[in-house]
């Protein structure tokens, strides 16, 4: 059943969410010989020379950071996986930008890299309570924090971001742009962050208009798919929309072409 579910969702990582509060079960996972550790440093992760995600033993991972407070990611093909924050060693040449190299991993390895990046980044940024400023302890195998002063409990957050393929009504042209982050020849669809109090549909219309001057067809926004985008803490939601291709382009300062 698990394999069928994985095939249906395209996600081989079993997050074992129900076991996070069971310290005994987590310790048992950590002591297994097939347990492995992914090491993250902000938006970077440790990769093997051939481009695969590096998965270290507990002893090897301890050189990079505190394995005792490693985050339990779940299991992949039955083997337990943990994520370690590289607080001790970040100069290793094997660290690569997950945003750039993750897409070249297998689907499930990329899921692991993205989950590890999201949770380690959150752990690093959530040491103090956002309500009262008090110090927070880590619980639920790295998936929750509790403020020692006001007792507020906080969890990792994913801020919504959107990306949209805008095509003409005949669906034989697509709106592409180049940001200064990309080299010449690399054009992408348009993306942006959803503002507080805004719907995804309104965000798509606003971002496309702001960046290109193009008004999309009202009611044409259709959901496609989503993926974690922990740079630093988003979930990227993908849409399609149509627009009249006769409109004049007015490029935002953010775009080169």
Tokens of 237: 């939601």
Q: Is 150 in the site for Zn ion (CB under 5 A)?
A: yes
Applying the rule CB under 5 A, the residues between 118 and 137 that interact with Zn ion are 129, 131-132, 134
* Closer of 154 and 189 to Zn ion (Cβ): 154
Task: Check residue 190 for interaction with Zn ion (CB under 5 A).
Answer: no
Stretch near Zn ion under the rule CB under 5 A, chosen from 90-98, 150-158, 219-227, 231-239: 150-158
Least distance (Å) between residue 122 CB and Zn ion: 17
Residue number with CB closer to Zn ion (90 or 149): 149
Report if residue 153 touches Zn ion, rule: CB under 5 A. no
Which stretch, 52-60, 105-113, 120-128, 140-148, contacts Zn ion (CB under 5 A)? 140-148
Task: Tell me whether residue 73 or residue 147 sits nearer to Zn ion (CB atom).
Answer: 147
* Cis peptide bond upstream of 232, omega within 30: yes
When the beta carbons of 150 and 256 are compared against Zn ion, the nearer one is 150
Pull the structure tokens for residue 242.
């149509």
Quote the CA–CA distance of 129 and 134 in Å, as a whole number.
5
Total residues at interface with Zn ion (CB under 5 A) = 8
When asked if residue 147 is in the footprint of Zn ion (CB under 5 A), the reply is yes
Contact footprint for Zn ion (CB under 5 A): 129, 131-132, 134, 147, 149-150, 152
């Amino acid at each position: 059943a698990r394999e069928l579910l994985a095939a249906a969702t395209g996600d081989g990582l079993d997050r074992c969410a129900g076991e996070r509060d069971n310290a005994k079960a987590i310790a048992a996972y950590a002591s297994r010989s097939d347990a492995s550790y992914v090491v993250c440093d902000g938006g970077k992760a440790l990769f093997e020379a051939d481009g695969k995600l590096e998965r270290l033993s507990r002893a090897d991972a301890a050189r990079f950071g505190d394995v005792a407070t490693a985050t339990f990611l779940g299991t992949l093909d039955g083997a337990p996986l943990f994520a370690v924050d590289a607080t001790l060693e970040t100069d290793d040449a094997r660290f690569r930008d997950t945003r750039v190299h993750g897409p070249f991993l297998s689907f499930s390895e990329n899921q692991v890299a993205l989950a590890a990046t999201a949770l380690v980044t959150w752990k690093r940024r959530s040491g103090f309570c956002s309500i009262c400023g008090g110090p927070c302890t880590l619980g639920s195998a790295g998936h929750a924090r509790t403020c020692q002063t006001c007792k507020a409990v906080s969890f990792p957050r994913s801020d919504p971001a959107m990306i949209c393929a805008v095509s003409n009504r005949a669906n034989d042209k697509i709106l592409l742009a180049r940001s200064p982050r990309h080299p010449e020849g690399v054009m992408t669809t348009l993306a942006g962050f959803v503002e507080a109090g805004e719907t995804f549909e309104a965000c798509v219309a606003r971002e496309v208009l702001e960046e290109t001057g193009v008004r999309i067809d009202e009611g044409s926004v259709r959901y496609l798919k989503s993926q974690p985008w922990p740079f630093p803490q988003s979930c990227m939601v993908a849409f399609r929309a149509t627009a009249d291709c006769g409109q004049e382009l007015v490029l935002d300062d953010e775009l080169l072409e």
